[in-house]
């Protein structure tokens, strides 16, 4: 599969208030506004897609499939199995038996997402096109970030994981103690990830693997002398959106949207809590050390004595966990979504070709919908409101677990 590098600059975004669900359902229509000419509808739809695409960091390297029209909510991503090696030479004058390509379908169900902004008649008294353009910028940013998050969460749920440089066995074991003692991303960790992908025959993308990296993690890695900037290895006209450099055969794309496993504070006045009384294979735990509202921790992960447990429910002074806990009195309770001591853990995805698939946003995948003043009927009797919105059908799917590796690490504060 060919991947085209992107060289688009970041779009300027004007932030408007998003009135989610404000007012009555005044626009029962589901088609694009007929008040706009076909040329203007095409222009604004293309403009929406152009502005949304820079936000789609995680879509850049997936196998893209168009949204099926009239085919229901299921989309098929196709993978072709490699042909076997041939061990016998040709016989002179004899045509050998042909071989058949074996295709494997991976199906996924698409879901719809969308949002809109409301433009008042007073606002529309100024230049209509300017307001519509500003609204389109705002919803394009929202659409891009929303659709990118869908892909990010799906592909970060893969089972091919490396913790730190490979010396740790779980996320909760990753620790940041000091600048010298930590589990930050290192050259060793990158090389180990590349070796894993190579041993799993993961194909490269234009000769390289690609890494999606958070700026906090890139800060640590870019200080290494082995780091190469794009102008040192590739024509800068053909770099990926957000590309910052290469190391050990991986071209890195930096973005704040790279996955971060972060646990919010456990109390309104404290990041941690303290076990009040020893626990011996118990699911009922008392705590102190902070102000916690009833049910506030329900569904949260906690790190207690080296074990990660999920909260069934809580009161202001007690927690019920789904797993039994054994820990001493006064053991510190940390947020359990990240690493040791509640430290943030970052995902750096190292990606090979055809590791995952995404739905294409062009060709009907992302629509620009405008409802002009007067389109609301009796729900808007004084023609006071117009709307500008977007709607998209979206999904992503991991196609080959072995073609992508998630490297989880800490980062310098």
DSSP string covering 245-283: EEETTEEEEE-TTS-EE-PPPSBTTBS-EEESS-EEEEE
What is the DSSP track for 348-381?
A: EEEE-TTSEEEE-STTTTEEEEEE-TTTTGGGST
* Rounded Cα–Cα distance for residues 86 and 174 (Å): 46
Tell me the H-state helices in 116-268.
121-124, 128-155, 187-199, 215-221
Give per-residue burial for 214-235: e unless 16+ CB within 10 Å, then b.
bebbbebbbeeeebeebeeebe
Q: What is the pLDDT of residues 60-77, one digit of tens each?
A: 999 888 876 665 688 888
244-253 pLDDT, tens digit per residue, is 999 999 999 9
Lowest mean pLDDT among 39-53, 122-136, 349-363, 393-407: 39-53
Q: Which two tokens stand for residue 370?
A: 């405008």
Give the pLDDT of residue 147.
Answer: 92
Residue 138 CA to residue 134 CA, distance in Å, equals 6
Task: Work out the average pLDDT over 196-202.
Answer: 95
pLDDT of res. 127: 56
> Is 91 or 105 the better-scoring residue by pLDDT?
91
Cβ(337)–Cβ(295) under 8 Å? no
Q: Does residue 219 surpass a pLDDT of 80? A: yes
Q: DSSP character for 410?
A: B
Q: Phi/psi class of residue 249: alpha, beta or left (left: φ > 0; alpha: ψ in -120 to 50)?
A: left
Query: What interhelical angle do 128-155 and 38-52 show, nearest 10?
Result: 40
Task: Summarize the confidence of residues 183-195 as an average pLDDT.
Answer: 96
What pLDDT is attached to residue 15? 32
Q: What is the mean pLDDT of the chain?
A: 84
Phi first, then psi: give them for residue 213, nearest 5 degrees: -130, 140
| Local structure of 399: helix, strand or coil | coil
- Three-state DSSP at 215 gives helix
How many Å separate Cα 231 from the centre of its chain? 28
Q: What does the block give as tokens for 290? A: 């902070």
pLDDT above 70 (res 129): no
Residue 122 in this model has a pLDDT that exceeds 90: no
Q: Beta 63-65 vs 356-359: how paired, if at all?
A: parallel
Q: What is the pLDDT of residue 14?
A: 30
Query: Predicted confidence band at 8 (pLDDT cuts at 50, 70, 90)?
Result: very low
């Amino acid at each position: 599969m060919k991947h085209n590098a992107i060289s688009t600059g970041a779009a300027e975004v004007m932030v408007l208030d998003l009135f989610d669900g404000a007012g009555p359902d005044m626009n029962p229509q589901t088609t694009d506004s007929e008040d706009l000419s076909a040329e203007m509808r095409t222009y604004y739809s293309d403009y929406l897609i152009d502005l949304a695409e820079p936000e789609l960091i995680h879509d850049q390297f997936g196998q893209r499939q168009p949204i099926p029209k009239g085919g229901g909510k299921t989309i098929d991503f196709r993978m072709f199995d490699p042909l076997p090696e041939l061990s016998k030479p040709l016989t002179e004058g004899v045509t050998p038996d042909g071989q058949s390509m074996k295709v494997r379908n991976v199906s996924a169900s698409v879901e719809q997402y969308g949002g809109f902004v409301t433009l008042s008649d007073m606002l529309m008294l100024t230049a209509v096109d300017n307001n519509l353009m500003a609204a389109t910028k705002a919803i394009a940013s929202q659409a891009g970030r929303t659709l990118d998050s869908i892909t990010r969460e799906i592909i970060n749920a893969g089972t091919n994981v490396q913790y730190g440089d490979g010396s740790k066995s779980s996320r909760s074991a990753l620790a940041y103690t000091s600048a010298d003692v930590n589990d930050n991303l290192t050259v060793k960790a990158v090389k180990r990830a590349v070796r894993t992908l190579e041993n799993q025959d993961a194909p490269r993308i234009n000769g390289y693997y690609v890494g999606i990296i958070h700026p906090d993690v890139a800060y640590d890695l870019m200080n290494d002398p082995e780091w190469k900037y794009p102008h040192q290895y590739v024509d800068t006209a053909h770099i990926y959106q957000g590309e910052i450099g290469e190391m050990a055969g991986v071209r890195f794309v930096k973005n704040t949207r790279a996955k971060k496993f972060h646990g919010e504070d456990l109390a309104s006045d404290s990041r941690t809590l303290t076990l009040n009384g020893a626990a011996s294979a118990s699911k009922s735990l008392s705590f102190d050390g902070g102000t916690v509202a009833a049910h506030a921790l329900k569904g949260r992960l906690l790190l207690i004595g080296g074990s990660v447990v999920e909260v069934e429910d809580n009161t202001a002074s007690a927690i019920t966990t789904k797993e039994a806990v054994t820990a001493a009195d006064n053991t510190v309770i940390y947020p359990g979504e990240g690493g040791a001591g509640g430290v943030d853990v970052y995902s750096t995805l190292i990606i090979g070709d055809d590791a995952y698939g995404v739905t294409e946003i062009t060709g009907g995948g992302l629509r620009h919908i405008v409802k002009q003043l007067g389109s609301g009927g009796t729900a808007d009797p004084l023609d006071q409101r117009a709307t500008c919105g977007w709607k998209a059908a979206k999904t992503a799917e991991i196609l080959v677990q072995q073609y992508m590796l998630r490297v989880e690490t800490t980062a310098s504060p």
